[in-house]
Amino acid sequence: MKLLFATSNQNKAREIQNLLPKDFQIITLNDIDLKEDIPETAPTIEGNAIQKTEYIINNFGIDCFADDTGLEIEALNGEPGVYSARYAGEAKDSDDNMNLVLEKLKNTSNRNARFKTVISLSINKEMHLFEGIVEGRIRASKVGTLGFGYDPIFEPENCGRTFAEMSMEEKNSMSHRGRAFEKMISYLKNSSI
């Protein structure tokens, strides 16, 4: 079964393809030649996931899923949250985003944070939402070279390593995205699609 993942982020697509059973194949926005960014103007992570899915349905009529993820830091009142990708500006530069977080937390002992992913799946004209959350903390500096986004500064609870120090398989076994996708995959396997 082919499913369109409403992203052009190949890192995300590889991560998700790695989670799926062999009979599912992910295609991305690159495969349908969509070059422009899908609007993400909702005030919530859930809203952005739904907005992306609805954009594909309304413009292409293809069953699809979309995700949105946010890093929520307790000491920053939930920032960067829905603005995680563009926290330090519209360039969406991961290093700039991490540097801004580290700067804002430099005199703060509360490093509690969580990653939250929401997946919106539209299949057979029905919308389904799946959520994954992983609790953790923000490190004082970047550690590790694997992964992407905020992975070098986020250490999952009871782990002792950042996501950027883990293989894709290790990260997927405990990550917010992995947890949300497990729920979606379970739904797909157990429904009569």
Active-site annotation holds for 68: yes
Bridge partners, residue 156, by sequence: 136
Q: How far apart are CA 73 and CA 137, in angstroms?
A: 8
- Angle (deg, nearest 10), helices 10-19 and 176-190: 50
- Spell out the residues 6+ positions from residue 108 whose beta carbon is closer than 8 angstroms to its own: 75
Catalytic residue among 68, 95, 96, 151: 68
Q: How far apart are CA 66 and CA 4, in angstroms?
A: 8
Q: How far apart are CA 123 and CA 89, in angstroms?
A: 34
- Spell out the residues 6+ positions from residue 84 whose beta carbon is closer than 8 angstroms to its own: 69, 70, 71, 97, 149, 150
Maximum distance among all alpha carbons in the chain?
A: 53
188: three-class secondary structure by DSSP: helix
Q: How far apart are CA 51 and CA 116, in angstroms?
A: 17
Known catalytic residues are 68
